[in-house]
């Protein structure tokens, strides 16, 4: 690609989006500094179901972007056989809750050419033997053979190592950094201890903290970020390979034989203290364990190893917020709920925008301009959402 390469790019954020962007920039020859508040992947990337998908009904631009995200993971997997330890495409199964139906969702997926198979309850054991067929809705379920999962801390570590090998500098445990702006131009990053890291371009990718950090710069982004948690089980004796998105629990395996669980109802039970501390009720933890046992073949007894609680990044309209910040020259932002699926592709496209100075047509629907007064949402592709968990 033709580049107008900035002398120095600072990326703020140690999750999949920030580290992917830093790695793509460094590979392309840019001088890069990656700044993280704590350790790499200690935020949302370290507590994610990390379901790789473009499931359900969404806008055409968003569906296309997610398909590109899946494509990049397949390329990554093909070129790095060792990635099978933390990246798998063994399919995903979902079914509707009482009084609901996924027939319309299935029809939408098939109409768009998405790899989607309807399974009657009697066929579940044949296709996904790790699932308890008796727990599946009477109408059946949707199996998406091309979906999978990634263990983001492992991927982040690999990307960070590649970035360093390409010359990037990584500053972990730097505290909450802020973007330094002079005359509406991003000129660097100020670390928690007051150290200034000059930059020709800054990329802000701090997950659920993005809206507050932009607000400090006078830029407003609609925000629907909730407190959330996932539960990591102790190692299980049964083989689980299928990602499950069921009415009461979502399940995916980990490389070390554990399971990651979450659910919307459990998320809503979190108690947020006056000091911002998050408390996860014990009954919610046990509830998730019980619900996961019900949907797995053999109903194994599951026990909790740890809980990961924090902010779950979700833009106000559900779609990603990605691209240049119009009010501040030299500043890019990445803020999205689908960080796992989009991790590789957004890092690639944002790096290309920064290096070439040319906006990506793929990202046109997701810029901050859509929130401007009088913006035509139809033109930027804001679409409907189906009742499927958007993890």
pLDDT per residue over 8-31, tens digit each?
Answer: 999 999 999 999 999 999 999 999
**Same structural domain, 117 and 243:** yes
Q: Are residues 181 and 250 in the same domain?
A: no
Q: Are 162 and 27 in contact (CB under 8 A)?
A: yes
Residues 6+ away with beta carbon under 8 Å from 293 = 299, 300, 301, 302
The DSSP line for 203-257 is: EE--GGGHHHHHHTTT----B-PPEEEEEEEPP-SS---SEEE-SS-EEEE-TTS
Which residues are 93's β-sheet partners?
A: 143, 244
Write out pLDDT tens, residues 171-193: 999 999 999 999 999 999 999 99
- How long, in residues, is the chain? 391
State whether 247 and 365 are in the same domain: no
**Looking at the structure, do residues 35 and 136 belong to the same domain, yes or no?**
no
> What are the tens digits of pLDDT across the range 194-234?
999 999 999 999 999 999 999 999 999 999 999 999 999 99
Structural domain including 118 reads 88-148+225-311
| Domain co-membership, 138 together with 263 | yes
Locate 98 and state its tokens: 């009482």
Residue with tokens 């999205």: 336
* Segment 290-318 mean pLDDT: 97
Note whether residue 212 is domain-resident: yes
pTM of the model: 0.94
130 and 195 co-located in one domain: no
Res. 389: pLDDT tops 50: no
Q: For residue 384, what pLDDT band results from cuts at 50, 70 and 90? A: very low
236 within a domain of the structure (yes/no): yes
Is pLDDT at 154 greater than 60 in this prediction? yes
Average pLDDT of the chain is: 94
Residue 386 confidence (pLDDT) above 90: no
> Is residue 2 included in any domain, yes or no?
no
Same domain, 206 and 271: no
Higher pLDDT among residues 98 and 1, named by residue: 98
337-365 mean pLDDT = 97
pLDDT in the model for residue 57: 84
Is the same domain home to 116 and 229? yes
pLDDT band at 382 (very low <50, low <70, confident <90, very high): very low
pLDDT at residue 328 above 60?
Answer: yes
pLDDT at 4: 64
Q: Is residue 324 part of a domain?
A: yes
Query: End of a domain among 277, 311, 345?
Result: 311
Is residue 379 scored above 60 in pLDDT? Answer: no
What was the pLDDT predicted at 6? 72
343 and 207 in one domain? yes
Whether 113 and 238 share a structural domain: yes
The whole-angstrom separation of Cα 89 and Cα 109 is 18
75 found inside a domain? no
**Overall average pLDDT of the 122-148 stretch:** 98
Which residues are CB-neighbours of 127 under 8 A, at least 6 positions away?
Answer: 91, 117, 119, 143
Instruction: Band the pLDDT of 385: cuts 50, 70, 90.
Output: very low
What is the structure's pLDDT at 377?
47
Instruction: Please indicate, yes or no, if residue 263 is contained in any of the structural domains.
Output: yes
- Least Cα distance to 174 among 294, 276, 39, 29 occurs for 39
Q: Are residues 234 and 368 in the same domain?
A: no
Domain count, the chain: 2
Q: How far is CA 284 from CA 76, 98, 233, 268, in A?
A: 36, 21, 14, 10
Q: What is the mean pLDDT of residues 134-156?
A: 98
Domain termination site, one of 288, 311, 334: 311
Where residue 117 sits, what CATH number does that domain have?
3.30.9.10
What pLDDT is recorded for position 374?
59
Residue written as token pair 């019900």: 294
- Tell me, what's the pLDDT at 373? 65
pLDDT reported for residue 370: 94
Average pLDDT over residues 238-242: 95
Using pLDDT thresholds of 50, 70 and 90, give the confidence band for residue 268: very high
- Domain assignment present for 56: no
Give the residue from 276, 295, 311 where a domain finishes: 311
- Mean pLDDT of the 101-117 span: 96
Q: Are 195 and 343 contained in the same domain?
A: yes
Q: How confident is the model at residue 276 (pLDDT cuts 50, 70, 90)?
A: confident
Rounded to whole angstroms, the Cα distance separating 50 from 312 reads: 12
Q: What is the CATH number of the domain that holds 362?
A: 3.50.50.60
Specify if 69 maps to a domain.
no
């Amino acid at each position: 690609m033709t580049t107008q390469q900035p002398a120095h790019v600072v990326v703020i954020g140690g999750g999949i989006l920030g580290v992917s962007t830093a790695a793509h920039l460094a590979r392309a020859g840019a001088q890069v500094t990656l700044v993280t508040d704590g350790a790499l992947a200690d935020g949302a990337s370290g507590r994610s179901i990390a379901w790789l998908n473009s499931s359900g009904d969404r806008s055409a631009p968003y569906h296309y972007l997610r398909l590109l995200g899946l494509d990049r993971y397949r390329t990554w997997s093909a070129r790095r056989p060792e990635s099978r330890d933390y990246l798998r495409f063994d399919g995903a199964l979902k079914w509707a809750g009482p009084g609901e139906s996924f027939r319309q969702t299935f029809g939408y997926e098939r109409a768009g050419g998405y790899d989607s198979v309807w399974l009657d309850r009697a066929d579940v054991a044949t296709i996904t033997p790790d699932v308890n067929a008796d727990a599946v809705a009477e109408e059946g379920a949707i199996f998406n053979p091309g979906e999978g999962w990634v263990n983001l801390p492992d991927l982040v570590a690999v990307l960070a190592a590649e970035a360093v090998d390409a010359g990037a500098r990584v500053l972990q445990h730097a505290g909450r950094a802020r973007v330094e702006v002079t005359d509406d131009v991003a000129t660097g990053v100020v670390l928690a201890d007051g150290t200034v890291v000059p930059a020709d371009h800054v990329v802000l990718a701090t997950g659920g903290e993005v809206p507050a950090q932009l607000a400090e710069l006078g830029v407003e982004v609609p925000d629907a970020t909730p407190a959330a948690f996932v539960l990591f089980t102790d190692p299980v004796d049964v083989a689980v390979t299928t990602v499950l998105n069921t009415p009461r629990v979502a399940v995916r395996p980990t490389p070390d034989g554990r399971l990651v669980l979450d659910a919307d109802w459990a998320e809503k039970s979190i108690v947020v203290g006056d000091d911002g501390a998050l408390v996860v009720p014990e009954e919610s933890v046990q509830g998730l364990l019980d619900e996961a046992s019900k949907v797995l073949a053999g109903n194994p007894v599951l026990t909790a190893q740890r809980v990961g609680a924090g902010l779950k990044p979700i833009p106000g309209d559900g779609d990603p917020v990605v691209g240049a910040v119009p009010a501040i020259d030299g500043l890019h932002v990445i803020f999205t709920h689908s960080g796992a699926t989009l991790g590789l592709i957004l890092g690639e496209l944002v790096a290309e925008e920064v290096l070439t100075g040319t906006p990506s047509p793929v990202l046109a629907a997701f810029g901050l301009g859509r929130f401007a007064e009088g913006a035509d949402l139809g033109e930027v592709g804001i679409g409907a959402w189906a009742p499927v968990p958007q993890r």
